Amino acid sequence: MSLPGQFSDPRVITLFGLLAVSTAVWLSLGLRARARDRRDRARTPLERIWHPQESIPLTPAEEHAFGQVVSRLSPGSAGRLQ
């Protein structure tokens, strides 16, 4: 079965074939690069962020207030936040 009209020209068929192959190669290389980037990002640890409380001692009132907040966020008896 031959293609009608201008699609029967072997140059057009070759052009479409090359376009299909180059698109498939381009997509596969892009997907491989994206997967490699995700793997590399998963291996690198997160950047450590400096927090001012690491070097500034808290006052007893600040420590108490912090303890109150933490105790409210800790899971209760049913495993729900209080």
pTM: 0.44
C-alpha 17/C-alpha 29 separation (Å) is 18
Q: Which residue has the higher pLDDT, 11 or 5?
A: 11
Of all residues in the chain, what percent are helix, strand and coil, respectively (each to 5)? 65, 0, 30
| Domain ranges for the chain | 7-44
Which pLDDT does position 59 carry in this prediction?
Answer: 86
- Residue whose tokens read 């207030």: 65
**pLDDT (mean) for 10-14:** 88
Q: Give the tens place of pLDDT for each residue, 52-70.
A: 666 777 788 988 998 888 7
Summarize pLDDT for 71-81 with one digit per residue, the tens. Answer: 777 666 555 55
CA distances from 46 to 18, 41, 42, 49 (A): 43, 9, 9, 9
Q: What confidence score (pLDDT) does residue 2 get?
A: 61
